[in-house]
A and B are shown apart, each in its own frame.
Chain A
Amino acid sequence: MTSDTATTDLMGDVGQSKRFLNRRRRETGLGYLMLAPSLLIFSVFVFYPFFKNFYLGFFRTPPFPGLPARYVGLDQFREVLTSDYFTNSFRVTIVFALLTVPAGIILGLLLAMVANQRLRGIGAYRTIFSSTVATSVAVASVIFGTLLNPQVGLLPWLGLTTNPAILENPKYALFAVAVTTIWQNLGLSFIVMSSGLQAIPDEIIEATEVDGARPWTRFWRVTLPLLSPTVFFAFVVGSIVAFQTFGQIDLLTQGGPIDKTNVLTYAIYKALRDQNEGKAAVLAVALFGVTLLLTTAQMRILERRVHYGN
């Protein structure tokens, strides 16, 4: 009798788990079906080009169009990645990121803190501060190209002239493009920092006032730690954006003078323009690698100092 009951129970269990498995399988199938459209689009526009790019790096593009590309294995990688052209480009990209990212975050944060005050007419400032978001790279570049123009620009009007002109000056060209970029990104940085500041509860700031913290202490000990997830986000995303800068380089300097503003994306573009697909592919892989390494490093090292809320 006892064993009978046990058997039935066991059978019941088996039946149940079978039904459960069937249901799970059906749900999984439905899940993939729903994912299919985006998977398809990603495959065509992201995954395939991504892997194809690695593949292209193994083939040397012949010097004359029309000849077949030749498989050279890793030779081309070694060649391109050890060339002065690449190391210069790499250095320019790093310097450009160092010039634009921290300055963009600090200025955005400063503006956000100003705009976070409860003052009459502060809304107008908020609009002005965030207005560069609505400005395209092309417009920003034209504005700064004009301002920096040696004949009609603002600098000569102020009596600040360089020889050669600033955008053709190996010493200042990258700096000038960086300033344009900081200005262009300031609106977004301001909005991100503002939203971060507004997420800090008023009562916490009031508590610091009652507790006797001076503004400086309040900023370093309370505001900044509570803002750290936002700053970290801005840092990672800002770095990736800086590494992909193209528009303002193309419009203002075309990578010159003497490759002083030839960031990696522009170097890739130039290789493609010269119809050297192989070289462009290797440079693209390098850019991917650098971005990946840097982002991972930021995640590993900086995230430890980030405080996420409750």
Chain B
Amino acid sequence: MARVVLDHVTKRYGDVVAVNDLSLEIRDREFLVLLGPSGCGKSTALRMIAGLEDLSGGQIAIGDRVVNDVEPKDRDIAMVFQSYALYPHMTVARNIEFPLRSRKVPENERGPLVEEAARALGLSDLLDRKPAQLSGGQRQRVALARAIVRKPSVFLMDEPLSNLDAKLRVQTRAELIELQRRLDATVVYVTHDQVEAMTMGHRIAIMSDGVLQQVGPPQDVYERPANLFVARFIGAPPMNTITGTIASEGGSHILVTAGGAIALPSEVSGAARNATGLEVVLGVRPEHVRILPHDSETQFALDATVAVIESLGHERHVVCRLADEQMVIVRQTVETQRPLEGTAVRLSADPVGLHLFDAATGLRLDAPDPQLVGDGE
């Protein structure tokens, strides 16, 4: 097993910078998820680790070895492709065997290894089939078996679940987590699906426009997003953001929005103090917003109207419209009293659930972590 270190890695295609100065350490036996919207450079970063793309700058080390000029086959990695990239003319057994055959592993050693990999992924009965005769989930497992058969130090996975239907995806997600634990392997996993990232990764690294935004354990990233991009990208429904200006009134701070002002609780006033007069974005996750009656007297609340209620069975999303037309989504449990659509309400938030961002830079205002890198497990 091995760690992977990306050191100021850059990839340019002509004038387009796909990956910009990416520095990231993937620890030994870690399941690291590279997360971001399509075109953010996450796949390019993975392909550079695999050796399928050259670097325009920086260096990549796997284990203790700089691999910039090492062929993919000599990097001791295995890759699972989005399309699975199975060899369509070979049987399942031959597909799994191919990496061993290519590396001239003696025939008498290949058989047991193939069987072991097939057993680990429940493919023992399908060894004589061709990929065309398999379901999507089975093909995906063949791709995984082909990756694990060689026992490489690092597994690279490029959106391996994106071609599966929703139900199978949930099931395979759990299987992949188990597999990683059993193999005790370093995994770099690329996805655009934040649920996959949250559920699977020991840490997640979020990228946007080729730039690393934040790295940390899923819960940390969720609770303390380093900037507006991360705040909006992680979480479904997404974090509510309300734009306004910070003003100082008496000893406390208020956020002045187009639709009215609210006093900021002491939890964020530290951050607010430095931002007086600045345009800011107040972020609050839907589960941290509370709906109060319109005649509620609390000073930490904004006037709003209930626009739409979406019921999901186990919870409901109440979409409210503020006086200045900004929308706020409130997540409620079904036990909570259901408001009526069209009624006037007041919205308040748990002070612990408030995030302040600089509207110009998007950066978190309360004690932003200079490294953007969270530690701890």
Contacts and interface: CB of A to CB of B under 8 A. Distances in A.
Q: Do A and B bind each other?
A: yes
Interface of A: 201, 203-204, 206-214, 217, 221-222, 225-226, 307, 309-310
A211 B102 contact: yes
Contacts of B72: 206, 209-210
A209 B102 CA distance: 10
Interface in B75-110: 77-79, 81-83, 85-89, 98-99, 101-103
21 contacts: A201-B85, A204-B85, A204-B86, A206-B50, A206-B52, A206-B79, A206-B81, A208-B102, A209-B52, A209-B71, A210-B50, A210-B52, A211-B99, A212-B99, A214-B102, A217-B101, A221-B87, A221-B98, A225-B89, A307-B88, A309-B88
- Interface size class on chain B is 20 to 34
Given A204-B87, A206-B52, A211 B73 contact: yes
B282 to A, nearest CB: 44
State the 10 A-B residue pairs at the shortest beta-carbon distance, nearest first: A212-B73, A203-B85, A207-B85, A307-B89, A211-B99, A310-B132, A213-B102, A212-B102, A225-B89, A203-B81
Given A206-B85, A221-B101, 6 more contacts: A201-B83, A207-B79, A207-B85, A209-B71, A212-B150, A214-B102
Contacts of B131: 310
A211 B89 contact: no
A226 B102 contact: no
B146 interface: yes
Contact of B78 (A201, A208, A210, A222): A210
A206 B103 CA distance: 16
A174 B362 CA distance: 77
Interface in B138-152: 146, 150
A41 to B, nearest CB: 40
B52 A310 contact: no
Contact of B83 (A203, A208, A209, A222): A203
Contact of A207 (B71, B77, B81, B150): B81
A213 B73 contact: yes
A226 B89 contact: yes
A213 B98 contact: yes
A117 to B, nearest CB: 15
Q: Which of A208, A210, A211 has the most CB of B within 10 A?
A: A210
Contact of B73 (A203, A209, A226): A209
Contacts of A225: 89
Nearest to A309: B88
Nearest to A211: B99
Nearest to B50: A210
Contacts of A204: 85-88
A307 B146 CA distance: 21
A105 to B, nearest CB: 19
B85 A212 contact: no
A162 B83 CA distance: 58
Nearest to B81: A203
Q: Which of B72, B99, B102, B103 has the most CB of A within 10 A?
A: B102
Nearest to B78: A210
A201 B79 CA distance: 16
A307 B131 CA distance: 12
B102 to A, nearest CB: 4
Contacts of B78: 210-211
Contacts of A217: 101-102
Contacts of A211: 73, 78, 98-99, 102, 146
A217 B71 CA distance: 16
Q: Which of B71, B78, B98 has the most CB of A within 10 A?
A: B98
Nearest to A225: B89
B313 to A, nearest CB: 38
B150 to A, nearest CB: 8
Contacts of B77: 210
Nearest to B149: A211
Interface string B334-359: 00000000000000000000000000
A222 B82 CA distance: 19
A222 B102 CA distance: 11
A211 B102 CA distance: 7
B21 to A, nearest CB: 25
A211 B142 CA distance: 14
A304 to B, nearest CB: 13
A221 B102 CA distance: 10
A258 B133 CA distance: 58
Contacts of A212: 73, 99, 102-103, 150
A310 B102 contact: no
A291 B85 CA distance: 39
B220 to A, nearest CB: 32
A204 B83 CA distance: 9
B139 to A, nearest CB: 10
Nearest to A226: B89
Nearest to A203: B85
Contacts of A221: 87, 98, 101
B52 A226 contact: no
A118 B83 CA distance: 22
Contacts of A201: 83, 85
A208 to B, nearest CB: 7
Contacts of B102: 208, 211-214, 217
A210 B49 CA distance: 11
A288 B52 CA distance: 51
Contacts of A213: 73, 98, 102
Interface string B222-239: 000000000000000000
Nearest to A205: B85
Q: Which of A201, A211, A213, A309 has the most CB of B within 10 A?
A: A211
A307 B83 CA distance: 19
Contacts of A208: 98, 102
Contacts of A210: 50-52, 72-73, 77-79
Contacts of B51: 209-210
A214 B71 CA distance: 11
A307 B87 CA distance: 11
Contacts of A207: 79, 81, 85, 87
